[in-house]
Amino acid sequence: MPEPPVFPYHPDPVATGAVVPSDGVCACCGQARGHLYRGPVYAEADLGGRVCPWCIADGGVADRFDAHFTAGECLGEDVPQAVFERVDRRTPGFTGWQEPRWFFHCGDAAAYLGPAGSAELAGHPDALQVLRTEIGTWGWPDHQAEEYLRSLDPSGEPTAHLFRCLHCRTHLAYSDTP
């Protein structure tokens, strides 16, 4: 079984669960390539779990079905339209409790590293600071915010989604709850 294509903005979609091993046939290319994408697909056709990562990478799914893989919400800097389109139409998305959002930093999209809890975030004080800034807008006292950060769980609720800038290597995160 061949390895899925490389996605600069989602470097390990198998580890994040966005791409899974499957004997299923891709609705775009008609081939069974050993993996299918199981993340969100925004298209008129019901494509959930029915397209392969190769057809995402080459733009086939986006072109054939006018499909998008993000909800279109960006966090951070403005980026060239071509960068946004590469994330939105040629990069596997990810599922969250709410509509997923994508970070942009240093004039480019950041790489999605996956869901994260307090343990995964412990080594990334830069991501924790981004989360503290986000939580600060909620009007919570510091002790409640810190308790919330300690409660983050990569497979539960609440969770965080961790990104890394491809240029300066800064880690970024936002929290996600049902």
Per-residue b or e along 30-59, where b marks 16 or more CB atoms closer than 10 Å to that residue's CB: eeebebbbbbbbbbeeebeebbbbbbbbee
CA-nearest of 94, 83, 84, 76 to 159 is: 94
CA-nearest of 106, 98, 60, 121 to 177 is: 98
Distance in angstroms (rounded) separating the CA atoms of residues 112 and 171: 10
Domain boundaries, the chain: 19-176
State in Å, rounded, how far the first CA of the chain is from the last one. 36
**What is the residue whose two structure tokens read 């299923």?**
24
HEC string of 91-151 equals CCCCCCCCCCEEEEECCEECEEEEEECHHHHCCCHHHHHHHHHHHHCCCCCHHHHHHHHHH
Residues 161, 120 contacting (CB under 8 angstroms) = no
Q: What is the pLDDT of residues 8-21, one digit of tens each?
A: 999 999 999 999 99
Q: What is the pLDDT of residues 96-131, one digit of tens each?
A: 889 889 999 999 999 999 999 999 999 999 999 999
Distance in angstroms (rounded) separating the CA atoms of residues 169 and 156: 27
CA-nearest of 77, 52, 75 to 161 is: 75
Mean pLDDT confidence for 1-7: 88
Residues 158, 148 contacting (CB under 8 angstroms) = yes
Beta bridge partners of 61: none
CA-nearest of 166, 163, 165 to 115 is: 163
Nearest-Å Rg of the Cα atoms of the chain is 17
Q: What is the pLDDT of residues 40-75, one digit of tens each?
A: 999 999 998 999 999 999 999 999 999 999 987 777
Give residue 3's pLDDT band: very low, low, confident or very high (50, 70, 90). confident
The predicted pLDDT at position 49 comes to 93
